[in-house]
Structure 1
């Protein structure tokens, strides 16, 4: 609980490392592709453009904005301090200035957006191909190993050359490509349309396991990427070379293909790390028991820009209700332990975010790891039709109609089942009893008076009744406001964690 009691100095004093070349400010054209941005903005006729930068690139934002403003003849807006993960398009910040388009710089999770047109400029990581190839040859002993080349989006500029060189060394290597033309889908396309959702299936119906429905080739899509395997071969027979630094991208890919070996090559040093996601996926199986034990489940909204986030929220509510549990929805920018500690009545949170953000590793944040589950894990725990397997699904869009993990029984009432928890050794109850009334709507439903407290029937036994049991329930709205005074005095100075007139707490 250290993060609940410190003074916030770790955040204030935190330093950021630039992942791109230090001379980027002097070479804006190469790193930030200013000319391409200008052409895209002019061709689209956009007049109010937002420039989204991650924290590590914000130092170059003024120079990029000045260059674009000079070339376009009007001002552009810098979107700093992203509302959610910096890998996602921040449409919330763009709406604050009424932007009609966004240019997204830096690493991207390749999640499709819906409301605003987006241009992705991945910037560039320095890639030392000779060192990378030499290290990969030393790590992969057999040259005829079946391999798929995937990479961080910031290595996109070197991916083509890397694929050509590596194919000479490993004849059975197959390169992946980024699905750049599918990252923006107009608002008119919804999950109810008959067209399959982007990043779910390819035109021939191949799923992520390489199983063919009606396909004529082994093309398939995953994590915003596409790869074409030779006829008759499946993805489960392949291992992966990942070009890029360790981070959320490789974590998501490792868990997606947990039975495969990943050779992770650092682009600058060439150092190769051999890993897999099998242990990470297996260690998360206890989260299914956490969901079954929970009485109140929070739906934590970590994106307002990824397509179909509203649909998955509605679906998760239906799944929780059919399992006889309560759900509450919370919109949080960037979740952390202090924020979730304010909602102590919620046992576990289903985190609705992009695939790379929704996976929280135990080594990175143990507190969030214990509290957060992905929508797929919640469905596996509460739906008999949703099966658990080693192909971890972090993309919530796969659970919607048209997705490969969609099951049709999500909203059906589940009959009551009782078993024993493997964590608490107590009885678990899933489903609804025959005499149990459905949950009432919080607006039109009935109310009850309990101990002089009026509660909507929705909250009896839930969040409203839990609030009643607290010693402090917030400001009393029945109290008269303080009378206004005509004297203005100087207030305290500093931040709330430690004002200047306060004595520092002893450690």
Structure 2
């Protein structure tokens, strides 16, 4: 066992964890694919039109080798305007979110976001999104899709373009797909959609759907396949390898696991609300709503902000029974097998805490928490009076129910007595629910027990060479 392994525990990361962390790497890209003439023209026109003077360039981890070349090139193009350009190399939560917090440290007035983006509406700064332009042979694509021609005859064909292939969007591609597959209806869309398109409501159809995602089996496909209307078939066309594969996103195992976590959220006595975004619009409203619903069920809540989460960070919160991750649509679902306590999304917490969702099967999974607010399409009002007084947990068999003030008999010792069966011992655990109950509360401040001291000049300089003044 190495020294780095022995120094790590369930409550802390090893000293090499930062170096060994897996970066969010997708298909390798070249400089030309992420910074060509179209990108340069879009950036320069956008900056000059609005008169921005302090521009941040935000890159994902796999784009960082090209960040300096892009920054230098942009400065040269904007030399007459005297524009300062900054590089954001490490994001607070996820590379898909605009890091307005880091941009504020340099007093930036705009952000240019490269690569994968959830397109959550930024509330503080204007943002320009730039996607890579990956090569795609349309003829090979059409040849591969011919195998779906018979199934598409009487159905609606939905084709989604991933970020690397959105430059192909247009009437030409739509015409080629219609001629090759001859579907009854064809829907060609971008994913993630631009902000204007995401607000428009698409006309519903009674036809069965066949969905094709031109991209890769990544987080964007997982998000799309869960939130899109039900489809009889899902297919992924990988543009880098030219392969077509079928995919079933909603497996029985996945559904069982999510409903198990919903039951664990109902059983929780303390919920940890993890704030994994500080820029997405409406996150404070979601926090308030979750706290209100939890209070109606007698569940305590704690607000947590720890940046990018990992098992070591969350293991420090022993009193938390279940975590609710409040993040962007691409950063709100975690496979919590590696974590000590379950992690649920805002939508799953809504299903657990809001009695309006009882015995109601959702039409689609909701990853955007704004859709659960009063103006969202999946909003259901919360009424604490509808919470059943007697509800049995499907996991532990414990009786749970609403908080009834009439049952509280404070000051009556008889009401606090516990009846135990013969030959049974009562075991209690103290998880340190409140700070005052913990056996160790940090260093003793000794308030009021020390004499006031005269202010003196401390050390100055850098740690390697301190000097006294």
What TM-score bracket applies, with the shorter chain setting the length? 0.7 to 0.9
Deviation, 1:14, is 5.1
Match among 416, 420, 424 for residue 396 of structure 2: 424
Match among 16, 34, 48 for residue 9 of structure 1: 16
- Cα 1:304–1:238 change in 2 (3 A) is same
* Aligned residue in 1 for 2:187: 174
Deviation, 1:22, is 2.9
1:364-393 CA distance string (max 9 Å, x none) = x52259521111211111112133425111
Match among 91, 94, 112 for residue 100 of structure 2: 91
1:436-495 CA distance string (max 9 Å, x none) = 59xxxxxxxxxxxxxxxxxxxxxxx998645455443322222889x999999x999xxx
Q: Tell whether the 8 Å contact from 1:18 to 1:57 is kept in structure 2 after alignment.
A: no
TM-score of the pair, normalised by structure 2: 0.79
Give 1:13-412 correspondences, 5 Å limit. Answer: 13=20, 17=25, 19-24=27-32, 28-30=35-37, 33-73=39-79, 74-138=83-147, 141-144=150-153, 145-160=155-170, 162-172=173-183, 173-177=186-190, 182=195, 199=198, 202=200, 219-220=201-202, 233-234=205-206, 237-257=208-228, 259-260=230-231, 261-279=233-251, 280-360=254-334, 362=335, 366-368=337-339, 371-386=342-357, 387-409=360-382, 412=384
- Cα 1:95–1:491 change in 2 (3 A) is closer
- Cα 1:238–1:491 change in 2 (3 A) is same
Deviation, 1:278, is 1.9
The count of residues paired between Structure 1 and Structure 2 equals: 420
* Aligned residue in 2 for 1:188: none
SS in 2 for 1:61: helix
Deviation, 1:309, is 1.1
Higher alpha-carbon Rg: 2
Deviation, 1:99, is 0.9
1:213-265 CA distance string (max 9 Å, x none) = xxxxxx52xxxxxxx66xxx24x721210011111111111112474221011
1:414-435 CA distance string (max 9 Å, x none) = 5562222111122223444434
Please identify, of 292-301 and 122-131, the stretch whose mean Cα deviation from structure 2 is larger.
122-131
TM-score of the pair, normalised by structure 1: 0.74
SS in 2 for 1:36: helix
Q: Distance in 1 between matches of 2:364 and 2:291?
A: 24
Unmatched tracts of structure 2, length 5 or more: 1-7, 410-428, 465-469
Please identify, of 381-390 and 308-317, the stretch whose mean Cα deviation from structure 2 is larger.
381-390
Cα RMSD of the aligned pairs, angstroms, is 3.4
Unmatched tracts of structure 1, length 5 or more: 184-197, 203-218, 221-227, 438-460, 493-507
Q: Distance in 1 between matches of 2:65 and 2:230?
A: 40
Q: Distance in 1 between matches of 2:340 and 2:316?
A: 17
Q: Tell whether the 8 Å contact from 1:111 to 1:306 is kept in structure 2 after alignment.
A: yes
